[in-house]
Amino acid sequence: MSFFYPSTTSERRNEDFPLQVARGQIPGHRVVQVFGYNGDVDQTEESVWPNGGVVPHPTSASVLKISSSSASDAAAGTGARTVYIGGVDGEFNEIGETVTLNGQTAVNTVNSYKYVNYLYVATAGTGAKNAGDINVGTGTVTSGVPAVLYDMIAVGFNQRTTAHFCVPAGHTGFMTSGVITAGQESGSSAITSFLKQHGPDEILRVGAITTMNNGSVQYDFAFPYVIPEKNCVGATAVGASNNNSVSTFFNIVLVAGPNAFAPGTPWN
């Protein structure tokens, strides 16, 4: 028998609004936490994700191929057995499904995706983690790697670490906080990171720029960053020298209902 615990104290004081949202007690509100990691940012601007380079996206919604660089990531393997993939279709409606892996052999998604928002290991064998890189993309798959890579789960992470998220149709995103960190073994040069946004017009607009040298910058927005429906946000970085590690984390509250901004309008 389950019991619902109200979001009040014994003195009838309400819990903080963010906790109520996280507990699913505020109708039409939900929390999205986006984080990314790139362990080798060099002197050309890259997305904050494990593969390096800039995250590409299908020009139209496409069936995606999911495969692993390891044969152990399969239905009866010791690594990851199934993954959940979620995102938006060509109309920016939310879609998602669970896919059973087949090692280095690609398995097609049922849905066609314009952007991937979620990718994580749903079930695993005795290893309790993905044994290889789990890759999502299109084109010819060679040794578990598609010709065009759209997203991935790095070995052992069990979760995508791609700092990119698209707000689905019928919602508005409010970024309440974020953090960017960077480090280099020598600590002798800086990195510059960017928060970028685009709408259906695909024009990237810079929303924030941060420069640091072996440190972190925290953003707590008194007035949340507004991300209209069908708009996407992502983080990129470039180093003054090579071999930088960069990570980032966003807290976004998705609110269902009419948008305050027309699609494609930058929030600033």
Average pLDDT rounded to a whole number, residues 43-57: 93
Distance CA 253, CA 29 (A): 7
Does residue 5 carry a pLDDT above 90?
A: no
| 190 neighbors 240 (Cβ within 8 angstroms) | yes
Average pLDDT rounded to a whole number, residues 78-99: 97
Whole-number percent of the chain with pLDDT over 90? 74
Q: Does domain 28-54+164-256 have CATH number 2.60.120.220?
A: yes
Average pLDDT rounded to a whole number, residues 116-136: 98
Query: For residue 268, what pLDDT is reported?
Result: 41
Does residue 259 carry a pLDDT above 60?
A: no
Average pLDDT rounded to a whole number, residues 157-174: 96
Distance CA 81, CA 121 (A): 8
For the full predicted model, state whether its pTM sits above 0.85: yes
Write out the E strands in the chain. Answer: 29-41, 46-47, 62-68, 80-88, 94-100, 107-113, 115-124, 134-142, 145-153, 164-166, 171-183, 191-198, 205-212, 215-227, 232-239, 244-256
Domain with CATH 2.60.120.220 in the chain: 28-54+164-256
Average pLDDT rounded to a whole number, residues 65-87: 98
Distance CA 26, CA 29 (A): 6
Residues contacting 202, CB < 8 A, separation 6+: none
Distance CA 244, CA 96 (A): 34
Query: For residue 147, what pLDDT is reported?
Result: 96
The pair phi, psi for residue 73, each rounded to 5°, is -90, 85
| 246 neighbors 181 (Cβ within 8 angstroms) | yes
Token readout for 181 is 């960190």
258 pLDDT band (50/70/90 cuts)? low
Would you give the distance in Å from CA 133 to the centre of its chain?
16
Q: How many CB atoms lie within 10 A of CB 53?
A: 12
Query: For residue 11, what pLDDT is reported?
Result: 54
Average pLDDT along the chain: 90
